[in-house]
């Protein structure tokens, strides 16, 4: 067995329905309740995989899902996994503005606390979509007790800084927030994502495995549909999106399981301990 590489390797899943993508604009919010739900199927497959490999992960849960599937949220918590918040219905913060964002945040944290008995301290924006224009979200996250965020993509610009492809710290009025960004390889004209969801399914296994094993920091992220070989299609989505939702799903669990035997991964909450005194790059907001 090869020696385990050292580094920070996190495992997460965004709990949302199979038909969600982008900023939820492809299908009207009013139509969601009428579309077949598959979130329980894919989430259970992921839970089974974690149990097999004695691994814990962070589950970023949509408020809309928590409201409709409370027992699923409780099952995740009871099996020892971390609960984080992922917005109420996948609207990008930059499209909400500070007032609506804060109301969304409080509403979601409240329902997850009610269901699990523990108020989340972890947050991920839909699509890792925090940006320079929505930097006002950082003080609001700190205000409401969020300790670790995973909401930015590496190599973005914010307040004159380039987001690094590894953990860093936001600071606001003497308080701080650890950010675990989505790492991307920065090639000329191309920022390549390799560590999750459709990107992980489409890349050859040998390539994705090599990228994970050679990287000192990775953020693996998935969705329930990635583990569901029977994802439906719908005329409400464009053909390419239906194709992306299903391509390679039947292989994801096996591929990730083989990777976990080589590269142990951790839930994001451990970052608060591992990086508490670390000299991380600072971005002031």
Could you tell me the CA-to-CA distances from 56 to 11, 15, 125, 169 in Å, in that order? 8, 15, 21, 24
| Residue 30 in domain | no
Ordered per-residue pLDDT tens for the chain, 285 residues: 333 335 899 999 999 999 987 665 689 889 999 999 999 999 999 999 999 999 999 999 999 999 999 999 999 999 999 999 999 999 999 999 999 999 999 999 999 999 999 999 999 999 999 999 999 999 999 999 999 999 999 999 998 899 999 999 999 999 999 999 999 876 666 677 899 999 999 999 999 999 999 999 999 999 999 999 999 999 999 898 899 899 999 999 999 999 999 999 999 999 988 898 889 999 999
CB 104 within 8 Å of CB 94: no
Q: What sign results for the dihedral spanned by CA atoms 199, 201, 202, 208?
A: positive
Q: Indicate whether 1 belongs to any domain.
A: no
For residue 27, tell me if it sits in a domain: no
| 249 lies in some domain | yes
Q: What is the pLDDT of residue 23?
A: 62
Q: Please report the pLDDT score of residue 276 as a whole number.
A: 84
Residue 66 and residue 60 in contact, taking contact as beta carbons nearer than 8 Å: no
Q: Domain of 65: which CATH number?
A: 3.20.20.370
- pLDDT confidence of residue 189: 64
pLDDT of residue 22: 65
Q: Which long-range contacts (CB under 8 A, 24 or more apart) does 145-148 make?
A: 145/109, 145/119, 145/121, 146/120, 146/121, 146/122, 146/177, 147/121, 147/122, 147/177, 147/178, 147/269, 147/272, 148/121, 148/122, 148/123, 148/177, 148/178, 148/179, 148/180, 148/268, 148/269, 148/271, 148/272
Whether 26 is covered by a domain: the verdict is no
The Cα 113–Cα 110 span in angstroms is 5
- Number of domains making up the chain: 1
| Entry pTM | 0.94
Domain holding 270, by residue range, is 8-19+35-284
219 vs 244: CA distance, rounded Å: 21
pLDDT score, position 188: 64
Please check whether residue 25 lies inside any domain of the structure: no
In a domain, 207, yes or no: yes
Contact residues for 256 (Cβ-Cβ < 8 A; gap 6+): 49, 200, 220, 222
* Assigned domain for 176 exists: yes
Taking alpha carbons only, the member of 165, 179, 164 closest to residue 130 is: 179
Q: Which residues of 8-36 are buried (b: 16+ CB within 10 A; e: fewer)?
A: bbbbbbbbbbbbbbeebeebeeeebeeee
């Amino acid at each position: 067995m090869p020696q385990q590489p050292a580094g920070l390797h996190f495992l997460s899943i965004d709990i949302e329905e199979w038909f969600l993508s982008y900023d939820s604009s492809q299908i009207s919010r009013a139509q969601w309740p009428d579309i077949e739900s598959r979130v329980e199927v894919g989430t259970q497959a992921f839970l089974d995989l974690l149990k097999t490999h004695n691994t814990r992960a962070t589950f970023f849960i949509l408020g809309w899902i928590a409201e409709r599937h409370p027992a699923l949220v409780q099952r995740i918590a009871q099996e020892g996994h971390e609960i984080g918040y992922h917005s109420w219905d996948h609207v990008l913060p930059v499209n909400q503005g500070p007032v609506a964002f804060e109301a969304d945040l409080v509403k979601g944290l409240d329902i997850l606390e009610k269901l699990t008995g523990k108020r989340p301290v972890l947050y991920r924006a839909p699509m890792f979509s925090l940006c320079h224009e929505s930097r006002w979200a950082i003080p609001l996250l700190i205000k409401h007790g969020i300790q670790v965020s995973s909401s930015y993509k590496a190599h973005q610009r914010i307040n004159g800084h380039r987001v690094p492809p590894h953990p860093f710290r936001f600071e606001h009025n003497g308080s701080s927030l650890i950010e675990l960004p989505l790492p991307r390889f920065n090639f000329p004209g191309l920022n390549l994502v390799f560590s999750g969801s459709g990107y992980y399914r489409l890349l050859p296994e040998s390539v994705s495995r090599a990228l994970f094993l050679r990287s000192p920091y990775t953020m693996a992220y998935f969705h329930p549909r990635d583990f569901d070989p029977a994802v439906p299609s719908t005329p409400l989505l464009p053909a390419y999106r239906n194709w992306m939702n299903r391509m390679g799903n039947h292989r994801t669990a096996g591929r990730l399981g083989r990777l976990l035997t080589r590269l142990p991964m951790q839930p994001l909450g451990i970052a608060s301990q591992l990086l508490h005194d670390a000299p991380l790059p600072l971005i002031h907001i």
